[in-house]
Each structure stands twice: as structure tokens, then as C-alpha cells.
């Protein structure tokens, strides 16, 4: 078939040579002529293959020029881009262009954030003072009977319809300020963990005493209406929360939340500490004892934070580190390391005789060396000994390493019911300023572990050190608001930080004992903090970010704390310990991170590769970083301004009357997540949208609203300048005879967050039904980014249209999957949206303002069209009629893209297919469609591969690796594990397989699910864990306007021609389709690859 097709093609190729006529005339006269005939046929075929078809570059160029003019005219007409550019050109004489001062902005933002956070600290101090005063005058009553509102029991009745004890009627009303949760802003209420008796005398006395906080809660909220949750966490276990809420238990009716386990409580109650956990893994620790020991270790780890340092040592006949890579040192107790330790502890096994003496020596050496080198927390040091007994003479160890100063406290946990060695274990703790506890059951672990916190807090209590602490960023999964907030595209803005302060007893009789009453605190939503760095001042690519003094991200637009597991969104295991280096990864020398961690003020520049469109596309930016410390906090602020258009901002001015008239146009919206007017201060304003608030303020109906004057001024100016677009678009829509079918939406956006759009087609006819709707967050102005069409247009020459198809995949390039609003949609909605995205095209261009030698971006404008319409234009152009004059054409003539042996494509400047014969190709990367041509284009320099990195990715777990360091210890470990797995599964097969049932199909089918081990392996293999990945992006080199080449693929050759489409970011490819090169050239994918580290 290939020979016949080639021969048939020969008549259409000019100058291709090759003689097949002899073979055509000769036939098989006899057997002796068969060999000569085969030789002649073979030579004919070879000549045709050598000659190949020729594709005319001139023809392809004509097509490209025609198609470029066609789509440019369409885009220009239906967007109105020339009209809008003219309107901004006309007002250039009346505007000012100013350079954005990064240092001044950083200083101003930091001062406003300091003021806001200062108000939170004052509120917490008032709570601490009130709690201490209330305790001072409270007399403990062992028989106190007191009814309080238990948040688990309020508004519930028993079987007879009577209110439950500690319940009763508790008024709740939805409140906009508290994420529309039903709350009671007049009262706080009490949450008690399920494992704590809610009528215990300590609980009743503490609740009664803390009733005095109700008035302070309300007063704080009136003084600072931006306050959110305020609370008091008691050392006895109850949690007083304002405003009061209904606490929802889990499906088992249990509330596991214990305020004493929360970071804000632990950090406020204790100073930073170095901890070495020593665990007995001798033979006597088998069974339940080992289970209790592991749970004890995990509970201790949960009490540590990023300001603490830790290591774990296991001992039996010898001493070993649970993580050999951490031998002899302390590591920061951040979430990553704590989770890593938990995984290793889970794999501990018991064997041999317990020799605690060597383990204690090793522990003291770790702590002493850290202190000598100035490492670790440089504060408290402690050893946590977990054992079922100690028989050795261990006094000499303490004499050598810890006495007489007793600088290191030793806490001991006796595991199990056996009390034979209790005195020895107790002696160790009491002679080293520690605390001894007996843990006989799993239920005892929580309360007993918490005791060490009270011991470590005693010096603070005695000295009355009321240190205010700020936590790292965290996501409060306790309150039910989190699920609703997951709808937000700005994932980093779901997080919060807490400010907390310890509460001590001031009673004279207990002052020397150092009694911690609890911790008071309040939450600060990072979203509210980042509103103080408004996006319009930072420009299209600019942004602000916050980090802690440990270098961890508090807020950053590129922070992605969520991942999708099945249909649910979940926080990543390490979501709040993402380092600045993992987001600003171009800072390879860590200069930015080092300066910010040290609390310095300064500036630096970096060349960065910034990804857009979920990592599919890359932009090369020159960024200036400005950073400074936020006084009285452990936080530093950084802002980023991009050179070029991002350096300047233009300022226009119009009257309020003129601007207000145009602001009320039906086609106009403003960024709902931006703060034009502060609506959260006065409860009466909380139900107003931003546009409603602006109108109320400008019309004088709400003069007390606090509004951003500069932003309002620019918004009014943009409303006036863009107002003619409404009439222009309306006129086009009403001219039904001249309206192209397939043009669906015209739109524009300005730096002030103003948007206008016109729907040319009704919703029932539109393919892009979700485009520019409330779910289409990528194409809207949000708190953390400008629309993607605005960002991309800004990096392309103004006046030239940039074309692209939105992402088609339901999974983005990042391995953690789509952790955005789509997770809240049904599978059908996600698939529908993905299908829509693959069948629409967006054309966008920038609009600029120039004053003197300074140019600033005023906005971007564009049009959304159906792919079907664009395709129809292309196929009409890319087809020479049969009566074409071919006399001057060197190559196939007439050339038609609809021929079976020709493949034609239109791809964009990042290599994504827009037009192809195969409808499913639209939106795919061209390297996946034709690896041979894409490989050749990369080799020829027409496309460049750019490596990008994702240090927040999630990868599938390695099935047979418990410890990432373990395979490095023995090259035979992998083989041994595989053999072990095979034998265990084979044994299970022999045990479970019913040989008689082999002859009964039904029974055989029923037996299939019994292979539980295999399914468990498979399930674990589907689990995701944090990892680092490298993934490619591809960029067109615009200096190469056209090229053509021939690819040799075994017994055939493939010719292709590439031509840039003028006035666009598109390329036209015409490829010979009858030569399959898939064996010689693999597809080029954009799949990320996990980065493996060799320690």
C-alpha cells in the first residue's frame, strides 16, 4: 500500500525524478522474470522514498499571512481594541505617570501591618490581665455546682424534648464577619474534649472564674471590629471561645480537639527547647508496651514547634538513631521532620536487653555539643526517657554530664502496669529537675505527656515573663468554615496566624510554685493582613509576601497548601513549613532569605522564570525585591515589582459625578476581593458588595465608610475612559446580519480591577459558558493575581493579539492536582468545564499609556471565540483549489490541508495545539501529538526547553520503602524487599485459595477480593506524599520566522514546513502525515519528574 501511494503521489511532485514506468509495463511472463521484476520495483520504491513529497514553503507562507490577517481583523473588530487604545491615547495629556517606589511601598505596608497586628496584641494583653485578676479573687470550691454553656450540648434536647444538662437555648445568628457561621456575639461558650469530664471540679472552677472574660471579649471586638476568634485555653483542658458557636462532633460523636495540643498554646506556655527522646526497644517492651511507647513519642512530637529542636534515640543492647542521617545532631522540629520521625517510629521493633546508660550518655553528648556550638534553641534542654524499667547503675552518667548544674531536665515515662522499677525511673526524673509519670494505657498518654509543659513553664511563671508569641501559618481544620473557604483560588489566603500570651496565677500562696492557668489568644486571617498590600499598587506581575523568622512562608501567591485526594481537598502534610527558598527558588544563593530571616531592610534584583496557567507556560521576568521587618513581630514583609511595565503607574482624574455615571453601567464590575471600601468595620456594611459600598460612599449615603481614595479615583477614571466600549459592543451585537457566529464574549480589564464584558451570544448558545463567571477564578481579578489573559497580554507587544486555548486538562501540571475551586464541583461539572475550555479560543492584547518616555499598562482587552469558528476560517484558507496555477510552485500543487497525507496544525508560542484535524488535539502539547517534529524544532532552535521546579509537589508513595535513607545502606535491600513481598503474597495465596473452587467459576470470582495484601499495597501506592519535581515548559524563539526540514524515519522520510503567523503568537505547521516516526521519536510530554536526592 505504501508503494502504491507513493507512486500515485509522483505525478503531483515537480522535479521529484524517479522512473517507475518500466516496472509498470513489465509483467510476470515466466518464473525467471520474478527476481528482475522485484529488483525493478524495489529500486522504483527507493527512488520515490529518496525523492519524497515536497511541501511548498511559499504556499504555507501565503496561508499564514492570510490566516493572520483574518483572525487579527476578527479580534480587532469584536474586541474594540483600537477604539480603547485611542481613548487612552486621547487622555495622555491629562494623566501623570509615576515610577513605583518599592522601598517606600514596603515601608508603608509594613507600618500598616505593624499597626494592625499591634491592635491584636493589645486585645490579647487585656484578656491576660482580666484572666489573672479573675483567678486572683476566685476561691477554689471543691463542691462547686455551676451550669455553663457547653458548645457540644447547646440547643439539643433529650428523648423527652428537655434541654440537656450544660445545654439550653443559646442564640445563634449567621455573621458575615465570621464566614457566615452561626455565632453569638454576646456570649462565649465552652468546649471540653471528650476524654475530659465536663463536670470535674477543676473544670467547673476554671469555667466559673473565666466568666469574667465575656465582657473583655465584647469590649475588644467593639474597639477592633476586625478581630476574629478570641479564646482562653485552660491548663485543665477546657476551651472558652468567643463568639460562641455550636461545636460539631465527628461521625462517632467525639471531639478530639484539645486546646493544649495547639501550637499557640504550647509556644506561649513554654520557651523554645531542645529535646532528645530516648525510647527503650528491648525485648520486654513488646506488644502493648511498644504501642503505648510509640503513641507517647508521637504525642511529644505534637507538642513541638518550629522554634524547637529534636532527635530520637532508641536503645536495647546498643544505641541507634531512628534516623541515621541525623546522628549526633538536633534537627528543627518543623512539620516535615516531625512527620518523618513518626513514620520511622512506626517501624520500630523490639529485641535484646535494655541498657539505658549508653543511651543517656549519647543524649547528653548531643545536647552538650549543640549548646557548645551555639546550635539548637539556645534555651531549655530536656531528655524524655520512655521505658518499662531501668536496672543499671546510671548515677555516674548524671554526675559526669548534668550535675551539679542540672542544666538538662530529664522527664521519665514508665510504660505498662509493672511497677517493679518505678522507684528507679522516678529517681532519674526527680534528681534532674524533671517529672515522672506512669503510663499504663493508651488513654493515659495525652494527659501525662502534657505535664512536662507545666514544668518547663515554671521559670516563666515565677519570673512573670508575659512573652507574646506568634505562630506559623496554619489552617484551622477544627472550625467548619474551612470547607467553605476551600472555594477560594488564593490558597495561601486560607491560612491564619495566632497571637497568644500565657496566663499565670498571681496568688501569693502559689507564686513560688509557678502555676500556669492557661493561654489567651486571637486569630489573624492572613487574607486580612495581605489586604494592606493592595494589588493595584504592585502591578500586573507584582505581589507581596510574608515569612517568619525561621524562613517559612506565611503568605505568598505561589504557596499551595492544598492537594486533591480523590474528590476531597486536604492540607498537605508540610503545608505550613514551606521555606521561602522553595517558592522563590531562583534565589539560589539564599541572599533574599538570609536577609529577611535576619530582619534586615533592603533590596535586590533577580531574573526569574515565572509560570502561569498552572505551570504550563513560562514568562521571563526581571524582578526587584524590597523587604523589611514588621516591628514587634517575628515576621518580615517582601514586595516584588517587575521591571518594564511594572515600574510605572499612571494616574488620571475625573469628577465624581462623571465617573459615578459610568460606574453604574450594567456591563461593569470591579474586583470583589479587593478593598475599595472597608466593609468589615461596621456590621451594617458587611452585606454590601464592593461595588455597592463604592456607590454608597460616592453618593454620600454612607459617608463614614473608609475607602481607598487613590483606588477610587483611578476606578472612576477608567470607568469614564472605557465607557464608549459599551456602546461599541452593543452596536455590533445589534447588527445581527454582520455578526460572526462563534464570537461569544468581548471583555476588558484595567489596573484598578475594573472589568467590562459583553456577551454576544446567549448562555444557551455559548460554548464558553463558565468564562468570566464566578467559578472562573483564573480569569478574574483576585486578591493574589490579575486575570491570566491580562498577565499574558502584558508580556506581549501592545496592539498585537495573543491567542491561546484555556487549559483542557482536569489535572494541572503540578503533581498535587487541581487544588482550586474545581474540587468543589461534581465530576460532571469538571468534565463539562474541561470540554468547554478545549473548544474556545481567547484573543487578548495590552493597552498602554505613554507620557514622555514612560509607558504604563492601562489594561488589557480581548475577545473569546469558539474554536469551531477559528477552525472554519483556517480550513477555508489552507486549501488550494483544483484549478490553481502550479507553474511557479516547487512542490505539491494544489496543496490542501484536508488531504489524508497532509497534517496541518496551528500551535501557540508555548507549543500548545489550537487547530488540528483531530479535535481531541486542541489544548494538548504538540510534542505529545508529534514527537518527531517537536524534537526537530527544538534541535533547530525554534523552540527552547525551559526547566521549572516545584518544591511543593505531591508524588505517589514508594511501595516498598519505609525509610528513604534505608536503600542507601544496602544495595541488596530492594531485591530482598521484592523477594519478601513475593513470598508473603504467594504464601497468602496458598492459604486463601480454594483449589476445589477452581472448577466453579462463581466461587473463583468470589475469591478474588480475598487478596487483601495486594489491594493494600495498591491503595498505599496511590497515596501521595510531599516531593520535589522538575517539569518542562517550551518557548518559541521569535527570531526564527520560518523553517522546513526532512526527518528520516527508517524506510520513509517526513517533510514539514513551519511558518510564523504574522501579528500573533501563533505558528502554522504543515506536515507530511503518511510517514510514521513514532518508533524513532517518542512523544515529548510535560509530565513532571520527581527529583531524587542522594544523601
The position carrying cell 514588621 is 630
In the structure, what pLDDT confidence band is assigned to residue 451 with cuts at 50, 70 and 90?
confident
The rounded percent of the chain whose pLDDT value lies above 70 is 83
In the structure, what pLDDT confidence band is assigned to residue 1 with cuts at 50, 70 and 90?
very low
Count H helices and E strands in the chain, helices first.
32, 40
pLDDT digits (tens, 9 = 90+) for 714-765: 999 999 999 999 999 999 998 877 788 899 999 999 999 999 999 998 888 8
pLDDT digits (tens, 9 = 90+) for 354-374: 889 999 999 999 999 999 999
Secondary structure, 3-state, 654-705? CCHHHHHHHHCCCCEECCCCCCCEECCCCHHHCCCCHHHHHHHHHCCCCCCC
In the structure, what pLDDT confidence band is assigned to residue 450 with cuts at 50, 70 and 90?
confident
Backbone angles phi, psi at 1034, to 5 degrees: -125, 140
Total-model pTM: 0.83
In the structure, what pLDDT confidence band is assigned to residue 884 with cuts at 50, 70 and 90?
low
Tell whether the model's pLDDT for residue 115 goes beyond 60: yes
Q: Give the model's pLDDT for residue 342.
A: 95
DSSP states along 518-570: EEEEEEEEHHHHHTTS-HHHH-SS-EEEEEETTSBEEE-TT---EEEETTEEE
Q: Give the model's pLDDT for residue 967.
A: 34
Asked if 496 and 510 count as a contact pair (C-beta separation under 8 A), the reply is no
Cβ atoms within 10 A of the Cβ of 921, count? 21
In the structure, what pLDDT confidence band is assigned to residue 489 with cuts at 50, 70 and 90?
very low
Q: Where are the strands (E) in 160-318, listed by range? A: 173-175, 181-183, 189-191, 230-234, 239-242, 273-280, 309-315
Measured distance CA(39)–CA(44) in Å, rounded = 9
The rounded percent of the chain whose pLDDT value lies above 90 is 57
In the structure, what pLDDT confidence band is assigned to residue 883 with cuts at 50, 70 and 90?
low
Residue 1059 to residues 62, 675, 886, Cα–Cα distance (Å): 9, 46, 21
Secondary structure, 3-state, 972-1030? CHHHHHHHHHHHHHHHHHHHHCCCHHHHCHHHHHHHHHHCHHHHHHHHHHCCEEEEEEE
In the structure, what pLDDT confidence band is assigned to residue 672 with cuts at 50, 70 and 90?
very high
In the structure, what pLDDT confidence band is assigned to residue 37 with cuts at 50, 70 and 90?
very low
Mean pLDDT rounded to a whole number for the chain: 83
Tell whether the model's pLDDT for residue 222 goes beyond 80: yes
Q: Give the model's pLDDT for residue 64.
A: 95
- Asked if omega into 122 is within 30° of 0 (cis), the reply is no
Tell whether the model's pLDDT for residue 889 goes beyond 60: yes
Q: Give the model's pLDDT for residue 460.
A: 72
Half-sphere exposure of 156 (CA within 13 A, CB side): 14
Of 922, 835, 820, the C-alpha closest to 614 is 820
Tell whether the model's pLDDT for residue 192 goes beyond 90: yes
Measured distance CA(519)–CA(1079) in Å, rounded = 67
* DSSP reduced 3-state for 758: strand
Asked if 843 and 802 count as a contact pair (C-beta separation under 8 A), the reply is yes
Interstrand relation of 273-280 and 380-387 (parallel, antiparallel or unpaired)? parallel
In the structure, what pLDDT confidence band is assigned to residue 16 with cuts at 50, 70 and 90?
very low
Tell whether the model's pLDDT for residue 345 goes beyond 80: yes
pLDDT digits (tens, 9 = 90+) for 970-1000: 333 333 434 444 444 443 344 333 333 333 3
pLDDT digits (tens, 9 = 90+) for 228-281: 999 999 999 999 999 999 988 877 778 888 999 888 999 998 889 999 999 999
Instruction: Point out the least confidently predicted range of 86-95, 239-248, 984-993, 1076-1085.
Output: 984-993
Q: Which residue has the higher pLDDT, 818 or 1041?
A: 1041
pLDDT digits (tens, 9 = 90+) for 808-820: 543 344 444 444 4
Which helix or strand (DSSP H or E) is residue 648 part of? Answer: strand 648-651
Asked if 562 and 569 count as a contact pair (C-beta separation under 8 A), the reply is yes
In the structure, what pLDDT confidence band is assigned to residue 207 with cuts at 50, 70 and 90?
very high
| 277's grid cell | 527522646
Long-range contacts of 731-737 (CB under 8 A, 24+ apart): 732/77, 732/78, 732/760, 733/758, 733/760
pLDDT digits (tens, 9 = 90+) for 995-1023: 333 333 333 333 333 333 334 444 555 67
pLDDT digits (tens, 9 = 90+) for 646-664: 788 888 889 999 999 999 9
Q: Give the model's pLDDT for residue 1050.
A: 85
Q: Which residue has the higher pLDDT, 762 or 546?
A: 546
Tell whether the model's pLDDT for residue 482 goes beyond 90: no
In the predicted model, what is the mean pLDDT of residues 549-570?
Answer: 87
In the structure, what pLDDT confidence band is assigned to residue 563 with cuts at 50, 70 and 90?
confident
Q: How large is the angle between the packed helices 690-698 and 656-663, nearest 10 degrees?
A: 150
Q: Which residue has the higher pLDDT, 32 or 585?
A: 585
In the structure, what pLDDT confidence band is assigned to residue 169 with cuts at 50, 70 and 90?
very high
Q: Give the model's pLDDT for residue 948.
A: 93
The dihedral through the CA atoms of 712, 715, 717, 723 has a sign that is negative
Q: Which residue has the higher pLDDT, 47 or 349?
A: 349
Tell whether the model's pLDDT for residue 538 goes beyond 70: yes
Torsion of CA 1018, 1021, 1024, 1030, to 10 degrees: -140
In the predicted model, what is the mean pLDDT of residues 10-29?
Answer: 36
Q: Give the model's pLDDT for residue 963.
A: 38
In the predicted model, what is the mean pLDDT of residues 542-556?
Answer: 94
The position carrying cell 473548544 is 839
| 1012's grid cell | 487483601
- Asked if omega into 243 is within 30° of 0 (cis), the reply is yes
Tell whether the model's pLDDT for residue 623 goes beyond 70: yes
Q: Give the model's pLDDT for residue 887.
A: 67
Q: Give the model's pLDDT for residue 767.
A: 87
Measured distance CA(688)–CA(390) in Å, rounded = 68
Tell whether the model's pLDDT for residue 46 goes beyond 50: no
Residue 542 to residues 590, 621, 936, Cα–Cα distance (Å): 21, 11, 36
Which helix or strand (DSSP H or E) is residue 860 part of? Answer: strand 854-866
Measured distance CA(60)–CA(64) in Å, rounded = 6
pLDDT digits (tens, 9 = 90+) for 369-392: 999 999 998 889 999 999 998 777
The dihedral through the CA atoms of 69, 71, 72, 77 has a sign that is positive
Measured distance CA(795)–CA(568) in Å, rounded = 36
Tell whether the model's pLDDT for residue 806 goes beyond 90: no
Tell whether the model's pLDDT for residue 344 goes beyond 80: yes
In the structure, what pLDDT confidence band is assigned to residue 836 with cuts at 50, 70 and 90?
low
Q: Give the model's pLDDT for residue 158.
A: 86
Long-range contacts of 824-833 (CB under 8 A, 24+ apart): 824/486, 824/487, 824/569, 825/775, 827/567, 833/770, 833/775
φ/ψ bin of 14: left (φ > 0), alpha (ψ from -120 to 50), beta (otherwise): beta
Instruction: Point out the least confidently predicted range of 849-858, 909-918, 1014-1023, 1027-1036.
Output: 1014-1023
* DSSP reduced 3-state for 120: helix
- Using only C-alpha atoms, what is the Rg of the chain? 35
In the predicted model, what is the mean pLDDT of residues 126-150?
Answer: 94
Tell whether the model's pLDDT for residue 1059 goes beyond 80: yes
Contacts of 722 (CB under 8 A, 6+ apart): 84, 87, 662, 748, 750, 754, 756, 859
Which range in 107-121, 510-524, 811-825 is most confidently predicted, on average pLDDT?
107-121
In the structure, what pLDDT confidence band is assigned to residue 332 with cuts at 50, 70 and 90?
very high
pLDDT digits (tens, 9 = 90+) for 695-717: 999 999 999 899 999 999 999 99
| 825's grid cell | 464541583
Please, which residues bridge with residue 412 across strands? Answer: 385, 436
pLDDT digits (tens, 9 = 90+) for 631-641: 999 999 999 99
Residue 468 to residues 302, 379, 525, Cα–Cα distance (Å): 21, 17, 18
Tell whether the model's pLDDT for residue 74 goes beyond 90: yes
Tell whether the model's pLDDT for residue 82 goes beyond 90: yes
Asked if 413 and 296 count as a contact pair (C-beta separation under 8 A), the reply is yes
Q: Looking at residue 150, what DSSP letter applies?
A: B
Q: Give the model's pLDDT for residue 27.
A: 40
Residue 168 to residues 144, 153, 479, 952, Cα–Cα distance (Å): 20, 8, 22, 47
Backbone angles phi, psi at 745, to 5 degrees: -145, 130
Q: Give the model's pLDDT for residue 899.
A: 87
In the predicted model, what is the mean pLDDT of residues 406-430?
Answer: 91
Which helix or strand (DSSP H or E) is residue 68 part of? Answer: helix 57-79
Measured distance CA(783)–CA(528) in Å, rounded = 10
Q: Give the model's pLDDT for residue 625.
A: 96
Q: Give the model's pLDDT for residue 968.
A: 32
Amino acid at each position: 500500500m505504501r508503494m502504491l501511494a507513493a507512486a500515485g503521489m509522483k505525478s503531483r511532485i515537480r522535479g521529484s525524478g524517479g522512473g517507475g514506468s518500466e516496472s509498470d509495463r513489465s509483467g510476470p511472463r515466466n518464473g525467471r522474470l520474478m527476481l528482475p521484476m522485484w529488483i525493478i520495483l524495489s529500486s522504483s520504491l527507493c527512488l520515490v522514498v529518496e525523492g519524497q513529497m515536497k511541501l511548498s514553503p511559499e504556499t504555507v507562507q501565503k496561508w499564514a499571512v492570510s490566516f493572520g490577517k483574518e483572525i487579527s481583523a476578527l479580534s480587532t473588530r469584536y474586541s474594540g481594541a483600537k477604539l480603547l487604545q485611542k481613548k487612552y491615547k486621547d487622555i495622555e495629556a491629562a494623566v501623570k505617570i509615576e515610577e513605583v517606589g518599592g522601598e517606600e511601598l514596603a515601608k508603608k505596608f509594613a507600618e500598616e501591618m505593624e499597626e494592625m497586628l499591634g491592635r491584636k496584641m493589645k486585645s490579647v494583653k487585656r484578656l491576660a490581665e482580666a484572666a489573672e485578676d479573675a483567678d486572683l479573687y476566685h476561691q477554689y470550691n471543691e463542691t462547686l455546682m455551676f451550669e455553663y454553656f457547653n458548645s457540644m450540648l447547646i440547643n439539643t434536647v433529650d428523648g423527652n424534648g428537655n434541654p440537656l444538662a450544660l445545654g439550653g437555648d443559646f442564640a445563634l445568628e449567621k455573621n458575615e464577619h465570621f464566614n457566615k457561621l452561626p455565632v453569638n456575639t454576646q456570649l462565649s461558650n465552652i468546649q471540653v474534649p471528650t476524654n475530659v469530664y465536663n463536670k470535674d471540679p477543676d473544670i467547673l472552677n476554671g469555667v466559673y472564674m473565666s466568666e469574667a472574660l465575656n465582657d473583655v471579649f465584647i469590649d475588644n471586638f467593639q474597639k477592633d471590629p476586625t478581630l476574629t476568634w478570641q479564646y482562653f485555653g485552660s491548663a485543665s483542658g477546657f476551651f472558652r471561645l468567643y463568639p460562641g458557636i455550636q461545636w460539631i462532633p465527628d461521625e462517632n460523636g467525639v471531639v478530639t480537639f484539645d486546646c493544649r495540643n495547639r501550637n499557640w498554646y504550647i509556644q506561649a506556655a513554654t520557651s523554645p527547647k531542645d529535646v532528645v527522646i530516648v525510647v527503650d526497644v528491648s525485648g520486654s517492651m513488646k506488644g502493648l508496651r511498644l504501642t503505648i511507647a510509640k503513641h507517647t513519642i508521637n504525642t511529644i512530637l505534637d507538642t513541638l514547634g518550629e522554634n524547637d529542636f529534636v532527635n530520637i534515640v532508641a536503645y536495647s543492647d546498643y544505641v541507634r538513631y531512628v534516623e541515621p542521617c541525623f546522628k549526633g545532631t538536633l534537627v528543627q522540629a518543623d512539620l516535615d521532620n516531625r512527620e518523618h520521625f513518626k513514620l520511622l517510629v512506626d517501624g520500630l521493633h523490639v529485641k535484646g536487653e535494655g541498657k539505658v546508660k549508653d543511651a543517656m550518655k549519647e543524649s547528653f553528648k548531643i545536647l552538650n555539643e549543640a549548646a557548645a556550638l551555639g546550635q539548637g534553641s539556645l534555651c531549655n534542654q530536656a531528655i524524655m526517657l520512655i521505658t518499662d524499667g531501668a536496672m543499671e547503675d546510671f548515677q555516674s552518667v548524671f554526675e559526669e554530664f548534668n550535675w551539679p548544674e542540672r542544666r538538662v531536665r530529664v522527664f521519665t515515662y514508665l510504660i505498662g502496669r509493672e511497677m517493679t522499677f518505678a522507684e528507679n525511673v522516678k529517681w532519674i526524673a526527680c534528681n534532674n529537675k524533671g517529672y515522672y509519670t506512669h503510663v499504663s494505657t493508651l488513654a493515659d498518654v495525652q494527659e501525662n505527656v502534657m505535664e512536662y509543659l507545666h514544668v518547663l513553664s515554671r521559670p516563666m511563671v515565677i519570673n512573670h515573663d508575659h512573652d507574646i508569641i506568634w505562630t506559623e501559618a496554619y489552617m484551622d481544620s477544627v472550625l467548619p468554615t474551612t470547607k467553605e473557604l476551600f472555594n477560594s483560588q488564593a490558597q495561601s489566603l486560607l491560612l491564619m496566624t495566632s497571637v497568644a500570651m500565657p496566663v499565670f496565677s498571681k496568688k501569693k500562696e502559689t507564686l513560688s510554685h509557678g502555676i500556669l492557668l492557661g493561654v489567651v489568644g486571637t486569630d489573624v486571617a492572613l487574607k486580612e493582613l495581605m489586604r494592606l498590600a493592595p494589588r493595584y499598587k504592585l502591578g500586573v506581575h507584582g505581589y507581596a509576601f510574608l515569612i517568619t523568622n525561621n524562613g517559612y512562608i506565611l503568605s505568598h501567591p505561589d504557596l499551595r497548601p492544598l492537594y486533591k485526594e480523590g474528590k476531597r481537598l486536604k492540607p498537605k502534610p508540610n503545608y505550613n513549613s514551606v521555606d521561602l527558598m522553595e517558592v522563590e527558588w531562583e534565589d539560589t544563593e539564599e541572599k533574599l532569605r538570609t536577609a529577611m530571616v535576619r530582619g534586615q531592610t533592603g533590596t535586590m534584583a533577580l531574573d526569574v522564570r515565572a509560570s502561569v496557567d498552572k505551570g504550563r507556560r513560562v514568562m521571563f521576568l526581571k524582578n526587584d525585591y524590597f523587604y523589611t521587618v514588621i516591628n514587634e513581630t517575628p515576621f518580615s514583609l517582601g514586595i516584588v515589582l517587575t521591571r518594564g511595565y511594572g515600574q510605572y503607574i499612571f494616574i488620571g482624574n475625573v469628577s465624581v459625578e462623571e465617573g459615578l455615571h459610568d460606574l453604574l453601567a450594567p456591563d461593569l464590575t470591579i474586583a470583589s476581593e479587593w478593598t475599595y471600601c472597608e466593609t468589615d468595620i461596621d456590621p451594617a456594611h458587611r452585606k454590601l458588595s464592593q461595588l455597592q459600598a463604592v456607590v454608597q460612599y460616592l453618593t454620600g449615603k454612607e459617608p463614614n465608610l473608609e475607602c481607598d481614595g487613590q483606588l477610587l479615583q483611578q476606578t472612576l477614571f477608567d470607568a469614564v475612559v472605557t465607557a464608549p466600549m459599551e456602546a461599541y459592543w452593543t452596536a455590533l451585537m445589534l447588527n445581527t446580519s454582520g455578526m460572526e457566529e462563534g464570537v461569544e464574549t468581548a471583555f476588558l480589564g484595567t489596573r484598578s480591577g475594573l472589568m467590562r464584558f459583553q456577551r454576544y451570544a446567549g448562555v444557551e448558545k455559548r460554548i464558553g459558558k463558565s468564562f468570566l463567571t464566578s467559578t472562573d477564578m483564573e480569569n478574574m481579578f483576585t486578591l493574589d493575581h490579575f486575570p491570566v489573559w491580562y498577565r499574558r497580554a502584558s508580556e506581549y507587544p501592545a496592539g498585537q493579539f495573543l491567542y491561546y486555548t484555556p487549559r483542557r486538562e482536569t489535572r494541572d501540571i503540578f503533581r498535587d492536582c487541581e487544588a482550586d475551586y474545581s474540587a468543589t464541583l461534581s465530576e460532571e461539572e469538571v468534565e463539562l468545564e474541561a470540554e468547554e475550555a478545549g473548544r474556545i479560543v481567547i484573543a487578548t492584547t495590552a493597552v498602554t499609556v505613554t507620557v514622555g518616555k514612560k509607558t504604563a499598562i492601562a489594561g488589557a482587552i480581548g475577545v473569546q471565540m469558539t474554536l469551531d469558528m477559528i477552525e472554519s476560517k483556517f480550513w477555508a484558507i489552507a486549501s488550494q483549489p483544483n484549478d490553481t496555477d502550479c507553474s511557479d510552485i516547487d512542490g505539491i500543487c494544489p496543496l490542501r490541508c484536508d488531504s489524508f497525507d497532509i497534517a496541518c496544525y496551528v500551535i501557540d508560542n508555548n507549543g500548545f495545539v489550537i487547530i488540528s484535524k483531530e479535535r481531541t488535539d486542541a489544548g494538548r502539547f504538540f510534542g505529545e501529538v508529534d514527537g518527531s517534529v517537536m524534537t526537530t524544532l527544538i534541535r533547530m532552535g525554534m523552540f527552547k526547553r525551559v526547566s521549572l521546579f516545584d518544591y511543593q509537589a505531591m508524588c505517589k508513595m514508594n511501595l516498598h520503602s519505609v525509610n528513604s535513607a534505608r536503600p542507601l545502606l544496602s544495595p541488596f535491600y530492594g531485591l530482598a524487599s521484592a523477594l519478601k513481598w513475593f513470598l508473603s503474597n504467594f504464601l497468602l495465596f496458598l492459604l486463601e485459595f480454594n483449589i476445589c473452587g477452581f472448577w466453579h467459576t462463581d466461587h473463583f470470582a468470589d475469591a478474588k477480593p480475598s487478596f487483601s495484601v495486594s489491594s493494600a499495597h495498591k491503595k498505599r501506592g496511590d497515596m501521595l506524599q510531599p516531593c520535589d519535581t522538575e517539569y518542562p515548559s517550551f518557548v518559541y524563539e521569535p527570531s526564527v520566522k520560518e523553517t522546513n526540514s526532512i526527518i528520516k524515519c527508517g524506510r520513509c522520510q517526513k517533510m514539514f514546513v513551519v511558518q510564523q503567523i504574522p501579528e500573533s503568537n501563533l505558528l502554522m505547521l504543515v506536515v507530511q502525515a503518511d510517514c510514521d516516526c513514532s518508533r524513532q521519536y517518542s512523544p515529548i510530554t510535560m509530565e513532571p519528574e520527581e527529583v531524587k536526592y542522594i544523601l
